[in-house]
Chain A
């Protein structure tokens, strides 16, 4: 709770204390100066003439009531913009997390059970590549190979091809494209959306695969040395049962923490991935906002990211306590 409060404090300092000519900045300048009237309107709207601690009070109230201001660039309320772009980021992140877990967990288990075998070495190499390669570059190399050289996909960016947008327009129900296309049985658009999802998902999943597979491996190795695993083996259980039932479940507990921490990578990775693939998510929106000094949008994005990050870590802590009875938060 203290931390969420701190997040608002830091964003407030960045939004209102650090910049010079705050009202000018919030009215959107850069290139052309905001008119006197616009500046005065902004001062009015954000209470910029009040003392700083009073401003902070208003700021907190606005944050909680989703009154995040109007973007001087798009002219729309920031909350509306975020509502449009956030589902795209959530879909991409969920796909990446799913892909990462499906690949990383078996990979980690195989690495641990066949320690120093070929599989283990290959997994180590993949992990090293995953954490070392810049996401924006991986994204471009994938485009170069899969799109330009092999021609396996028809369009390297965005969520839908223009042709599909014209022939099979998607009805907006939930804002989540994949869900909407299924609900309206628009299979042509669904297929097209899936195709567009593949490369960004791989890009985003790569560092997560690295982090999660290494964690699964090392916690599996530790668990496999425990007495209860030896007992399970000694009483004649099959290797499958020993690993699946006894070792894996316990190894998953520390892995959970890493999965929660990797949401930080996910949020960061989404920014560059979305830019390269012209993915209309909040990451790309935020980059555009920083480029054009669209302050209300930047601050909303920063605060949302940090809050999501904090909440996920909280959930992971609670899940940890639930799964591991030795941990208790009093």
Chain B
């Protein structure tokens, strides 16, 4: 019985996604990216860092479906390996900012008073900066380059919206009757927070996180493109577009394919995130 109940629950959760062709398309892209990230060594026909100066700028087709770049490396293999860096940096930034921001918002909303006031003012300060621009200043202040620096630089601004959102959720939820009655029944504060408020506050956070993952990858790609992230030669999508820039006229494929990879990844997270929002928030349906 329990088993059947679970299955019904799962079906209820999954069905809206299956009925939405765009969301399905998004999931399909995500599956491809995830598979290429996990099985990169198996799937990639060549070593992504191999330099073969005799095979420079081979056109797409034949042995190199996406062609080769200025170092003679196989663009397809580099695009496949690039999914690792993109997903990893995206997920790490998201974990840091969503967890950190949510905890802060939870604390601010629950404590209230001057603690809330101060924390929210600090949040506003960070929200005043456009993401990429603060990230650039952080890169400069740290006086370093590399993927790790990019992760820190993006996370430093990205937690702020989560803090706001979580706080708003807590403020709404803690006035609701079931929380009120739990409090009246003498349930300790920490337990109310963890068992009654947190689970119900999670859905908008999850929706936001899905949408955000795409934008984080986009921002990281921009930073890499500008030369602050992955260094030359590394199989990173933003970096590959930058490296192909000088040879745009003669070798369009070096720029085009990694760019398409970024486009489809961000698009997939947007599609899935939009579908998730429609499901979690039925008021916005079709909006």
> How many angstroms between the C-alpha atoms of A67 and B124 in the bound complex?
26
Main secondary structure of the interface of B (DSSP, over half): helix
Is B132's CB under 8 angstroms from A271's CB? yes
A131 within 8 A of B: yes
Known: A3-B124, A14-B141, A128-B270. A134 touches B287 (CB 8 A): no
Tally of A-B Cβ pairs under 8 angstroms:
152
Is A302's CB under 8 angstroms from B263's CB? no
Is A2's CB under 8 angstroms from B137's CB? no
Is B136's CB under 8 angstroms from A302's CB? yes
For residue B275, give the distance in angstroms from its CB to the closest CB of chain A. 12
Main secondary structure of the interface of A (DSSP, over half): helix
Is A134's CB under 8 angstroms from B128's CB? no
> How many angstroms between the C-alpha atoms of A66 and B255 in the bound complex?
41
Find the B residue at minimum CB distance from A207. Answer: B218
> How many angstroms between the C-alpha atoms of A290 and B122 in the bound complex?
25
Chain A residue contacts of B141, Cβ below 8 A: 14-15, 18-19
B170 within 8 A of A: no
Please provide the chain A residues from 6 to 32 with a CB less than 8 Å away from any CB of chain B in the complex.
6-7, 9-11, 14-15, 18-20, 25
Is B131's CB under 8 angstroms from A268's CB? yes
For residue B272, give the distance in angstroms from its CB to the closest CB of chain A. 12
Instruction: Identify A290's interface contact among B121, B228, B256, B263, CB under 8 A.
Output: B228
Instruction: Identify B132's interface contact among A9, A14, A268, CB under 8 A.
Output: A268
Is B262's CB under 8 angstroms from A14's CB? no
Is B225's CB under 8 angstroms from A298's CB? no
Is A11's CB under 8 angstroms from B248's CB? no
Is A271's CB under 8 angstroms from B133's CB? yes
> How many angstroms between the C-alpha atoms of A298 and B221 in the bound complex?
20
**Chain B: interface size category:** 35 or more
> How many angstroms between the C-alpha atoms of A259 and B139 in the bound complex?
29
Known: A131-B270, A221-B287, A272-B222. A11 touches B255 (CB 8 A): no
Find the B residue at minimum CB distance from A222. Answer: B287
Find the A residue at minimum CB distance from B126. Answer: A10
Chain A residue contacts of B130, Cβ below 8 A: 264-265, 267-268, 305-306, 309
Is A18's CB under 8 angstroms from B142's CB? yes
> How many angstroms between the C-alpha atoms of A20 and B144 in the bound complex?
12
A interface list, Cβ under 8 A from B: 2-4, 6-7, 9-11, 14-15, 18-20, 25, 115, 128-129, 131-137, 140-141, 143-144, 148, 218, 221-222, 264-265, 267-268, 271-272, 275-276, 286-287, 289-291, 293, 295, 298-299, 301-302, 305-306, 309-310
Please name 22 pairs of A and B residues whose Cβ atoms are closer than 8 Å in the assembled complex, sorted by A.
A2-B121, A3-B128, A6-B122, A14-B138, A25-B143, A129-B267, A132-B218, A132-B267, A133-B263, A134-B218, A134-B222, A134-B241, A136-B225, A140-B248, A140-B259, A144-B255, A264-B131, A271-B132, A275-B226, A293-B140, A302-B129, A309-B129
